Structure 1
């Protein structure tokens, strides 16, 4: 009795063999896990020491014509942040902003009242040091300009607090490094893999078997996806247990991050397929791959926020798929958004996926 050939079984055999080969590849492990973990370790420890410096914002209704404000604004350790109110409130809730400072004229004595608004995410010691600095500034003004007055201003001991969660360095850097890992694996990994399979006539030998071309591609692609998803789980797990990376809703948030990672990887693999077909030899793969990856490593919020760039450059940053992947990852992990809440970012990724795979299908060749 003739046994029917199983395309699916053959595909999973290819996946298994390719996955084993990937785990045995030092470059694959280094790019997917090693480099991102090095960056996470470096950036994870940033801010653990150093001198005191706080970011504060001035309440929009404050009086800025008085000597108190002039003196505070000249204190080296106090940095006044100027952003739209919505962004300032977000920074306050995350603990990136120590306090809103309000300076208003008083009808009696003292002449000015200084009030603070902070959040539960701000370290108590930072707030206490800020209060001490403000009291010291006021004392210096009194001694220099108003020696006969009781005090020119007082800092209200009652501090308004809003709800908030601590936003650590790791909450920004880990999603960026996960994107770095996925983009590197999706582009470089797929490009080198399929180029070598073609050059070594492995794909051509597959034609001598009953397995169809579609299952060949799926089998190889699945091995890359499985390997990279394992790498993603490792990166997030180390971030959570080693650096207190925030997963707002625990396991649910983790699952949504993995779903988004899967989508991002599949999209990035599209360019890897393009490079594997347009490259004439192995030495031309890195230049072609870097045309797509290098600008995104720098401009997509991988290592630092894109709002540090000029407005005209931010426009181009927001066109890149990695920017939207990073934004969605951070919104889900820290803000508690669901994958449906970040539909705009997911939509941009899908559009990029359609475009990349349309080109990949057009240029794909087996030999």
Structure 2
């Protein structure tokens, strides 16, 4: 009988069983297959990595002009959707757009059509304007003979006086994103692991056996997490301000409004932690389930780079993500001088996410 034993068949049986075990492990599948694909897809959508900026046209209705068509065909340039003159100027001062561009046509002394491009920037958009200049240079390269005297050129570019605006540094973009990253990670992973552990060790069940009400048990555990994360937010903002000169437009008022936003976002994100802690079958399944919610938001929520780098259809998807709304509200308050009352859109979307999330959490929450 020993002679009939096949070492090869035994090895293949072990291989088959081990392979099935890997496929049945959500963590192994997610980290080995799913997440690399997500990274590839996301970074593949960033227009080949080319930098892009938004501009506003004063005469956008005249997009048939050859100069405007050439400019808008350039992948580095995006046309802002804002049409109100006051709002356009406000966006330029706040650095949301690279420049206001006007294109006028006239007759040259020689009798041919001549296009005059006027650009106006602000000190807040100084880092974006070089990209626009590069795009304009490409338009000129195809349309203008370099040896032609300027007065006879079909295209003339004029830079108007720069508007005053706050100097926008990288820390003003990065810090709100990193704060949102910290809040989302701590709320989802922290709450999921905490309540799963309390349930697995029957601590929640023992709590439930005491006179204290259910809601106070959950609130007590959740409150400790909120306090800890708010302290973390204070440290992050404080270091950013003292060490890297992070912009807080209205000083302490802006600081307090950022903390209120942190609290609001943290409460919304904790709902996902409650859902995961109740649906996870084991501790090893928590990370992949949590990452399915958090990782797309880290990549698509404007955490590390602006979502303007994505195609228009993907930007629309980004707009519904709760982390994107929290990041936008943080940046608007910190750098642009907005107040909580000005962030009604972002707070509204976060509220809808909170209502939906806690409605599910109440349904699936388990005590044991």
Query: What TM-score do the two structures reach when normalised by structure 2?
Result: 0.67
* 1:179 Cα deviation from its structure 2 partner: 1.3
Contact 2:108 2:151 (C-alpha < 8 Å) held by counterparts: no
Which range moves more in the overlay, 357-366 or 188-197? Answer: 357-366
Measured in 1, the distance between the counterparts of 2:313 and 2:158 equals 44
Match of 2:80 among 78, 83, 91: 83
**1:332 and 2:329 are equivalent in the alignment:** no
Measured in 2, the distance between the counterparts of 1:150 and 1:362 equals 74
1:320 — aligned with what? 321
Contact 2:199 2:367 (C-alpha < 8 Å) held by counterparts: yes
1:295 — aligned with what? 296
Measured in 2, the distance between the counterparts of 1:312 and 1:104 equals 32
Distance verdict in 2 for CA 1:279–1:150, change over 3 Å: closer
Which range moves more in the overlay, 267-276 or 171-180? Answer: 171-180
Structure 1: runs of 5 or more not aligned: 1-52
* 1:154 Cα deviation from its structure 2 partner: 11
Contact 1:120 1:162 (C-alpha < 8 Å) held by counterparts: yes
2:93 — aligned with what? 93
Contact 1:256 1:332 (C-alpha < 8 Å) held by counterparts: yes
* 1:109 Cα deviation from its structure 2 partner: 6.3
Secondary structure of the residue that 2:246 maps to in structure 1?
Answer: coil
* 1:337 Cα deviation from its structure 2 partner: 1.8
Contact 1:55 1:96 (C-alpha < 8 Å) held by counterparts: yes
1:224 — aligned with what? 225
Distance verdict in 2 for CA 1:257–1:107, change over 3 Å: same
Measured in 2, the distance between the counterparts of 1:322 and 1:174 equals 14
Measured in 2, the distance between the counterparts of 1:157 and 1:307 equals 27
Measured in 2, the distance between the counterparts of 1:348 and 1:299 equals 16
Distance verdict in 2 for CA 1:109–1:121, change over 3 Å: farther
Deviations 1:174-224 (A, max 9, x none): 222111111111110000001111112222333465433332222211110
Aligned CA-pair RMSD: 4.0
* 1:296 Cα deviation from its structure 2 partner: 1.4
Deviations 1:225-265 (A, max 9, x none): 01100111111112222222222211111111111110110
2:272 — aligned with what? 271
Measured in 2, the distance between the counterparts of 1:326 and 1:348 equals 12
Measured in 2, the distance between the counterparts of 1:88 and 1:154 equals 24
1:1-367, aligned counterparts within 5 Å? Answer: 60=59, 81-84=78-81, 86=83, 89=89, 92-95=92-95, 99-100=99-100, 104=104, 115-121=118-124, 144=147, 146=148, 152=153, 159-207=160-208, 209-367=210-368
Contact 2:195 2:277 (C-alpha < 8 Å) held by counterparts: yes
Aligned residue pairs, count = 304
Distance verdict in 2 for CA 1:194–1:82, change over 3 Å: same
Contact 2:55 2:79 (C-alpha < 8 Å) held by counterparts: no
Secondary structure of the residue that 1:341 maps to in structure 2?
Answer: helix
Measured in 2, the distance between the counterparts of 1:210 and 1:63 equals 74
Secondary structure of the residue that 2:168 maps to in structure 1?
Answer: coil
Contact 1:56 1:81 (C-alpha < 8 Å) held by counterparts: yes
Measured in 1, the distance between the counterparts of 2:55 and 2:311 equals 22
Secondary structure of the residue that 1:303 maps to in structure 2?
Answer: coil
* 1:102 Cα deviation from its structure 2 partner: 5.2
